[in-house]
């Protein structure tokens, strides 16, 4: 199975600070059809996960544009340009290029 | 609006059985592979299984293989998870998901 390693496991930020989360894959997530099936999710406390970014860099409808995704192959990054209080929670990367789908271990974003 | 609504969670004893349902709306259910993902208390996300568009193919994680069964009824836009021979380690919130859209989750507690 593909292993996704997220760093850091915990991130402390102040409101307005820009932060990045890394997701590294044990193998390339480039599918033979040319797509890279790497999504980013946010799970706020007590809530289900919600989609932020799909196909590496495409912003889900309704998600603020302070969120951005980048990367290719095995290295991917989620950036938040100016953290807001509502951004606190646990961020997960998930891949579905290779079966079975796998999740990163999560990055908890906290207020400093 | 895309919506996934799980039901059927509850408390059961080790060795017992339970069936979760997930009703989908707002998208063409029969066009999507559907997945079940679980989250043990305080832990990350664990993919446990998936079912193809018309239900002819299913795949399971080793942790639940031969104990849980995934099925679907496209006429009712409903996904199912039949849980059998449950163990304490099956205690979790169970999410149905397309890996983009997520339900709110159904809580399952296995305890004697």
Residue A38 DSSP SS3:
strand
Q: A96 CB near a chain B CB, below 8 Å?
A: yes
Across chain A, what does the average pLDDT equal? 97
Indicate the pLDDT class of residue A112, thresholds 50, 70 and 90. Answer: confident
HEC states along chain B? CCEEEEECCEEECCCCCEEEEEEEECCCHHHCCEEEEEECCCCCCEEEEEECCCCCCEEECCCCCCCEEEEEECCCCEEEEEECCCCHHHCEEEEEECCCCECCCEEEEECC
Over residues A33-59, the pLDDT tens digits come to 999 999 999 999 999 999 999 999 999
Q: How far is CA A63 from CA A11, A18, A32, B37, in A?
A: 21, 16, 29, 23
CA distance B76 to chain A (A): 24
CA distance B39 to chain A (A): 10
From the number of C-beta atoms within 10 Å of its C-beta (0-12, 13-18, 19+), residue B18 rates as buried
Is residue A61 pLDDT above 90, yes or no? yes
* H or E element, residue A76: strand A75-80
Question: Which residues are registered as beta bridge partners of A98?
Answer: none
How confident is the model over A11-33, as a mean pLDDT? 97
Over residues B63-82, the pLDDT tens digits come to 999 999 999 999 999 999 99
Across chain B, what does the average pLDDT equal? 97
Which chain B residues are within 8 Å of A35, Cβ to Cβ? none
Q: A92 CB near a chain B CB, below 8 Å?
A: yes
How confident is the model over B23-42, as a mean pLDDT? 97
Is residue B9 pLDDT above 90, yes or no? yes
CA distance A14 to chain B (A): 24
- A105·B44 Cβ contact <8 A: yes
CB atoms within 10 A of CB B54: 9
Over residues A84-100, the pLDDT tens digits come to 999 999 999 999 999 99
Residue pair A19/B80 in contact by the 8 Å Cβ criterion: no
């Amino acid at each position: 199975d593909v292993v996704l390693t997220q760093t850091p496991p915990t991130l402390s930020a102040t409101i307005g600070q820009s932060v990045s989360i890394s997701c590294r894959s044990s193998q390339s997530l480039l599918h033979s059809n040319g797509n890279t099936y790497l999504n980013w999710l946010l799970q706020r406390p007590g809530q289900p996960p919600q989609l932020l970014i799909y196909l590496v860099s495409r912003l889900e409808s309704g998600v603020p544009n302070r969120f951005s995704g980048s990367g290719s192959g095995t290295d991917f990054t989620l950036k938040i340009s100016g953290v807001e209080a509502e951004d606190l929670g646990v961020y997960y990367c998930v891949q579905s290029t290779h079966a079975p789908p796998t999740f990163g271990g999560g990055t908890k974003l906290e207020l400093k | 609006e895309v919506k996934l609504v799980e039901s059927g969670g509850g408390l059961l004893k080790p060795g017992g059985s339970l069936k979760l349902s997930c009703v989908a709306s707002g998208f063409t259910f029969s066009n999507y592979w559907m997945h079940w993902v679980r989250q043990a208390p305080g832990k990350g996300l664990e993919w446990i299984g998936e079912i193809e568009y018309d239900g002819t193919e299913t795949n399971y994680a080793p942790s639940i293989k031969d104990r849980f069964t995934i099925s679907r009824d496209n006429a009712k836009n409903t996904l199912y998870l039949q849980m059998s021979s449950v163990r304490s380690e099956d205690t979790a919130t169970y999410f149905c998901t397309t890996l983009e859209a997520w339900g709110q989750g159904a809580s399952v507690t296995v305890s004697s």
